[in-house]
Structure 1
C-alpha cells in the first residue's frame, strides 16, 4: 500500500504560477496525499484564490516568515509518512509522486529523494530542450520509460521538490530559519540528514518542470545578494570556505557525530498553532466552540441556516473550534453532509473553517465584525437562534459600518 504523503506548498504572491502548480498537482497526483498550503502574507488576489480551494488545508500568515519558516509550519501540520516540500512555480508530471515514494522505499537508509529538472542547481539539472509544456510532458514520459527505477546517491538535492521521510523529520526536525527568505536552507537540511545517518537519492525517472525564482522575482528580492548572505551563514555553520566558489566538500563535516543540540531544529513552537491560522477576516466572522459531542446537535440547525443565508460571494465566514477532539477532517465531513442534505453544494455557501488548534476567542475580546455563537457566548446567544433574514441583517449592518454585535 502506498503511504500517505503530505504535500507542503508555500505561496507568496506569484498567483499565475501558483495556479499552474496546483492544477498540475491535481491532474497528476494519484497517490494518497494531503495538500497543505502555507501562504506567507500574499496580496489579496492570491488569498482570494486560496479561499476557493476545498481540497487543501491553508495556513495564512500575516507576514512573510521565509521559506524555512513557512515550510516548518506546513511540516508541523502534516500527518503523512512522507512530506513533500514543493515550490509554487513547478509543473509536476505523470507518476511523479508514486515514483519518488518508490525511490524512497528502495533502501531503508534513504531519507530524502529529489527529481531531475530543467532549472535547478547542480547535477539534478538536465538540458531537456523542449519548448512547450506539452513537449515537456512527452520528454518526461520518455525519460521515465528509459530510466524507470534508476537513480543516484548524492550529498544534496535542491528543495524545490524534496520528498522527506518522516524518520528524518523525527531525527533532525525542521528547516533552519536563519536562512530567511531562502537559499542554502536546503543544503543545510541535506547536511543534517547525512549527519543523522540517512542517504539522499536523485530519482532519474522523475522529471519536474521548474520555472525558477518566481517568488523572488514577484517580491523584487535580490537573488544574488541573498545567495551571498546565506552562503556566509552556511559556511560558518559547518566550517567551510567563507568565499562561495560554487561548490564545497563535506567529507570532513560528515566525519563529525550528529549533535541533536546543534543539528536538530525543533518544530514545537508550531505544533499548537499550525492549524489555528485563519485567513484574514473580510467583513464578518462568526465563531462557535464545540466543547463536546453533545454540543454538535444544537449547532446543526444554525449551520443549516448559515448555509442558506450566505453564499460563497458573501464576505463572511464561520469558524468552528473543535474542542471535542472529533478531528478537523471529521467535523468538515459532517458539515458537508449536513449542507448537502439541504440541497446546497458545500462550495456555494458562506465559508466554514474548522480549527483543531489554538485558543478560541472569548466574547469580550472579539473585535468589531466578529461574534460568538453558541453556549460559549456567555448568555448572549441570540445568533444561535437567528433566522436567515436576521443573519443577513447582521452582515448588512456590518457592511454599513455598524457594530451588529447581537441580534435583538
Structure 2
C-alpha cells in the first residue's frame, strides 16, 4: 500500500486540461479538492475560457497553493498537457479533463496500483452521465482492448472499451484489477519515467486518438497498462450547454480539424484507414450544443443533423481566430523535469 507519511513530498501531480467545455470546470475542480485523499500538486491549464470562469478557477487553484496557467486562446488538450509537463517533479502525473467528477479514494487507488504493479499507465473505472446520479451511471471505460493486426503490410486497429454501456452498480463487484491495453484521457495516471521515455505528447493529435497514441508509445517502450476498478470517476454530461462555451466546443469538433488529426494518426502508425466511427461521433456529438428537438419533429432527423452541422461548422470557422497554434516541436520532457 501507499506510504502516506511523506506529506511534504507528494507522489503525484494533477494536470488539468480543457476538453470541450468550460461551464462544469468549477464544479469538477471542487470535486478534486473534496475527494483527493492523498497529498498532490496541481497544474491547471486554462485555455480561452470566459474571464469570469477563469478568474474563479485561478482563485480556487492558487488559493489551495497550486499552479494556474492561463492561455489567452483556445488550446488543444495535448498542447495544454505539454505546457504543464516541464513543471512536474513528482513520480506520477494524473492527466484529467476539466469536466470530470470523482468518488472518494479515486486518487490513492490509482497511485497504489502503479506502486504495486510498476505500471506505466493506470486507468480508472470511468462512468458517463449527470454528476447528480454518480455512481448510478453507465460505464464508459473499464479497461479495454486495443489490438493491431497485420493486413497486407498495414495494421488494422481494433478498439473496444471494457463493459461499455453497462450499469456500474450491477457490475461493480465483478470488476477486478487487471493488465489492459487502453486508457482514456478523461482521467489517467502516467509514471513520469514513462513520459520521459516516450517523449512529449503529440500536439498534432486534437481529435479522438491522443490517448491511443500515448498507449501505443508506452507499449512500444515496454511499459504496462493496468486497470484499477476501485478508482471511480465520471465524465459528467447532461448539463445544458451555454453560448459562451459553444464556440470552443464547435472548434474542438469541427470536421476538418478532427479528421485531419485522424488521418495524421493513422498514417503515423501505418493503420488501415477506417473513419466511420469518427464521422458518426462528430455527427451525433455536435447535437449536445444544438439538440433542435422541435426541428427534428417537424423536418426529420437527416435535415436536422445537416443543419446542426452547418451551424456548428460556421461557428468553428469564426472561433478559429481565437485558436493558438501549439508548438509542434516542444522540448523533450526529460530536459525540463527534474527530480
Alpha-carbon separation, structure 1, partners of 2:56 and 2:186 = 22
2:269 matched to 1:238? yes
Task: After TM superposition, list the pairs within 5 Å mapping 1:229-308 onto structure 2.
Answer: 229-244=260-275, 267-268=331-332
Q: Give how far 1:85 is off.
A: 0.4
Q: Give how far 1:83 is off.
A: 0.3
Q: Give how far 1:96 is off.
A: 0.2
Distance 1:172 1:212, change over 3 A: farther
Alpha-carbon separation, structure 1, partners of 2:162 and 2:174 = 14
Alpha-carbon separation, structure 1, partners of 2:334 and 2:72 = 15
Aligned partner of 1:67 in structure 2 is 77
Q: Give how far 1:125 is off.
A: 5.2
Alpha-carbon separation, structure 1, partners of 2:104 and 2:208 = 28
Alpha-carbon separation, structure 1, partners of 2:333 and 2:126 = 34
Distance 1:175 1:125, change over 3 A: farther
Instruction: Give the conservation status (yes or no) of the 8 Å contact 2:43–2:68.
Output: yes
Please say which of residues 190-199 and 204-213 is displaced more in the overlay: 204-213
2:89 matched to 1:79? yes
Aligned partner of 2:219 in structure 1 is 194
Aligned partner of 2:36 in structure 1 is 29
Aligned partner of 1:153 in structure 2 is 179
| SS of the residue 2:122 aligns to | strand
> What are the Cα deviations for residues 103-125 of structure 1, in whole angstroms up to 9, with x where unaligned?
112222x1001112223464245
Q: Give how far 1:224 is off.
A: 7.2
Instruction: Give the conservation status (yes or no) of the 8 Å contact 1:116–1:203.
Output: yes
Greater relative CO (CA pairs within 8 A, separation 6+): 2
> What are the Cα deviations for residues 283-327 of structure 1, in whole angstroms up to 9, with x where unaligned?
xxxxxxxxxxxxxxxxxxxxxxxxxxxxxxxxxxxxxxxxxxxxx
Instruction: Give the conservation status (yes or no) of the 8 Å contact 2:177–2:226.
Output: yes
Distance 1:147 1:83, change over 3 A: farther
Aligned partner of 1:178 in structure 2 is 204
Alpha-carbon separation, structure 1, partners of 2:82 and 2:58 = 21
Aligned partner of 1:43 in structure 2 is 50
Alpha-carbon separation, structure 2, partners of 1:68 and 1:244 = 21
Please say which of residues 41-50 and 159-168 is displaced more in the overlay: 41-50
Q: Give how far 1:5 is off.
A: 0.7
> What are the Cα deviations for residues 144-190 of structure 1, in whole angstroms up to 9, with x where unaligned?
xx368x3222222111101000111110122100113x421111111
Task: After TM superposition, list the pairs within 5 Å mapping 1:2-401 onto structure 2.
Answer: 2=4, 4-11=11-18, 14-53=21-60, 54-55=63-64, 56-108=66-118, 110-119=119-128, 120=140, 122-124=160-162, 126-127=164-165, 129=167, 139=169, 143=172, 146=173, 150-180=176-206, 182-211=207-236, 218-221=248-251, 223=253, 225=255, 226-244=257-275, 267-268=331-332
| SS of the residue 1:105 aligns to | helix
Taking structure 2 as the reference length, what is the TM-score of the superposition?
A: 0.63
Instruction: Give the conservation status (yes or no) of the 8 Å contact 2:124–2:229.
Output: yes
Alpha-carbon separation, structure 1, partners of 2:58 and 2:254 = 34
| SS of the residue 2:95 aligns to | strand
Q: Give how far 1:212 is off.
A: 5.2
Taking structure 1 as the reference length, what is the TM-score of the superposition?
A: 0.53
Please say which of residues 13-22 and 99-108 is displaced more in the overlay: 13-22
Instruction: Give the conservation status (yes or no) of the 8 Å contact 1:68–1:177.
Output: yes
Instruction: Give the conservation status (yes or no) of the 8 Å contact 2:36–2:104.
Output: yes
Q: Structure 2: any 5+ residue segments left out of the alignment? A: 5-9, 129-139, 142-159, 279-328
Alpha-carbon separation, structure 1, partners of 2:59 and 2:98 = 17
Instruction: Give the conservation status (yes or no) of the 8 Å contact 2:19–2:77.
Output: no
Distance 1:217 1:154, change over 3 A: farther
